[in-house]
């Protein structure tokens, strides 16, 4: 990823192409603006990265408002674009598994983050992308801890279940003994 200044990436969709996308969307929504609204977003760049052999996407998304000149669009932040971290499709089963373990592991939305949060409104695009790289590395570095957290959690549950089963068996054995049943 090569930055041009702090707020543009080499290969990012040009303003002219972005405007064409807005015009295409305006045409699709013609006569239905009340139903679909006047705003939306377009992915203007993406790049696949790898960390410890695990792939992840960083995508740049840009906000638009139909009928508003590009230089007057007021988006979710001062740039009207933001960075998104996403896992590739082949990691979807892993991401779903990790999300399913959230209660135990504390991990959620694994490999899905963005820079649309309080305190990030005035960041440069470069800062946003750097944050997505940090988030990707944190997600990937957390993978080895998942097994340990699940093992610890379920070992405790299994021990408690075995204790209950022993109490039930002892109680049943005691009842049978009292009633003379073998």
Q: What does the block give as tokens for 42?
A: 């377009």
pLDDT of residue 180: 66
Query: Greater confidence, 165 or 172?
Result: 165
Q: What is the pLDDT of residues 28-59, one digit of tens each?
A: 888 888 888 888 888 999 999 999 999 999 99
pLDDT of residue 156: 78
Most confident of the ranges 40-49, 59-68, 113-122: 40-49
pTM, to two decimals = 0.77
pLDDT of residue 118: 82
Of 88-97, 117-126, 151-160, give the lowest mean pLDDT range.
Answer: 151-160
Kindly tell me if the per-residue pLDDT of 76 is higher than 80. Answer: no
Q: Rounded to whole angstroms, how far apart are CA atoms 162 and 151?
A: 16
Q: How confident is the model at residue 182 (pLDDT cuts 50, 70, 90)?
A: low
Q: Rounded to whole angstroms, how far apart are CA atoms 101 and 89?
A: 19
Of 62-66, 155-159, 170-174, give the lowest mean pLDDT range.
Answer: 170-174
Please give, one letter per residue, the 3-state secondary structure of 58-85.
EEEEEEEECCCCHHHCCCCCCCCEEEEE
Helix (H, G, I), strand (E, B) or coil at 16: helix
């Amino acid at each position: 990823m090569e930055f041009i200044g702090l707020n543009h990436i080499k290969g990012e969709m040009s303003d002219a192409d972005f405007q064409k996308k807005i015009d295409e969307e305006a045409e699709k929504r013609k006569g239905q603006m009340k139903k679909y609204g006047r705003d939306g977003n377009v992915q203007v760049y993406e790049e696949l990265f790898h960390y410890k052999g695990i792939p992840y996407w960083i995508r740049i998304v840009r906000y638009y408002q139909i009928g508003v000149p590009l230089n007057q669009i007021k988006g979710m932040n001062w740039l009207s674009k933001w960075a998104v971290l996403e896992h590739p499709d082949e990691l979807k089963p892993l991401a779903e598994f990790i999300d399913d373990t959230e209660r135990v592991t504390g991990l959620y939305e694994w490999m899905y983050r963005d820079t649309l949060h309080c305190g990030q409104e005035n960041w440069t695009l470069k800062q946003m992308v750097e944050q997505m790289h940090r988030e990707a590395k944190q997600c990937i570095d957390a993978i080895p801890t998942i097994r340990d957290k699940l093992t610890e959690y379920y070992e405790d549950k299994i021990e408690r279940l075995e204790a209950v089963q022993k109490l039930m068996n002892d109680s049943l054995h005691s009842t049978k003994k009292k009633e003379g049943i073998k």
